């Protein structure tokens, strides 16, 4: 997985952690610890802001299962975020259901309508994750 993401990660960091490719300024890097291995892995993800929180969707392109990074942060919610020109520690709050999840999903799809397609490809509810600086 990481080899596919390496050019995106490298390009984003080369931009001063501000933007890269088709994601423009809506890209962040999320580093999580593996729930089994304990190894740190970095994933490029599209985000939107909700007040001071960064919000990402565990969409996996509409796949039937949640992405690995999501399962890892459920087990280890202390993460690192790179966005808006900086790197900081954050606490991840997974939101798999409920009104807060639905509100954030609505914001996410309003900002990036392509995510609506993912919802039609799967029977699972796509979890949202709020990332708050610590």
pLDDT tens digits along 98-126: 999 999 999 999 999 999 999 999 999 99
Indicate whether this model's pTM tops 0.85: yes
Q: What is the pLDDT of residue 1?
A: 47
Domain ranges of the chain: 2-133
Q: Is 108 exposed, middle or buried (0-12, 13-18, 19+ CB in 10 A)?
A: buried
pLDDT attached to residue 19: 66
CB 122, CB 45: distance < 8 Å: no
Q: Say how many C-beta atoms besides its own lie within 10 A of residue 75's C-beta.
A: 11
- pLDDT digit string, tens, across residues 17-63: 876 666 667 899 999 999 999 999 999 999 999 999 999 999 999 99
Determine the topology of domain 2-133 in CATH: Pnp Oxidase; Chain A (2.30.110)
């Amino acid at each position: 997985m990481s080899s596919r993401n390496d050019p995106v990660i490298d390009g984003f960091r080369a931009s001063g952690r501000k933007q890269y490719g088709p994601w423009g300024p809506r890209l962040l890097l999320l580093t999580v610890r593996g729930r089994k291995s304990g190894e740190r892995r970095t994933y490029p993800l599209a985000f939107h802001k909700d007040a001071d929180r960064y919000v990402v969707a565990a969409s996996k392109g509409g796949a039937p299962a949640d992405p690995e990074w999501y399962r890892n942060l459920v087990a280890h919610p202390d993460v690192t975020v790179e966005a808006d020109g900086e790197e900081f520690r954050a606490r991840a709050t997974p939101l798999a259901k409920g009104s807060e999840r639905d509100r954030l999903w609505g914001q996410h799809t309003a900002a990036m309508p392509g995510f609506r397609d993912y919802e039609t490809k799967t029977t699972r509810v796509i979890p949202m994750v709020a990332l708050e600086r610590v």
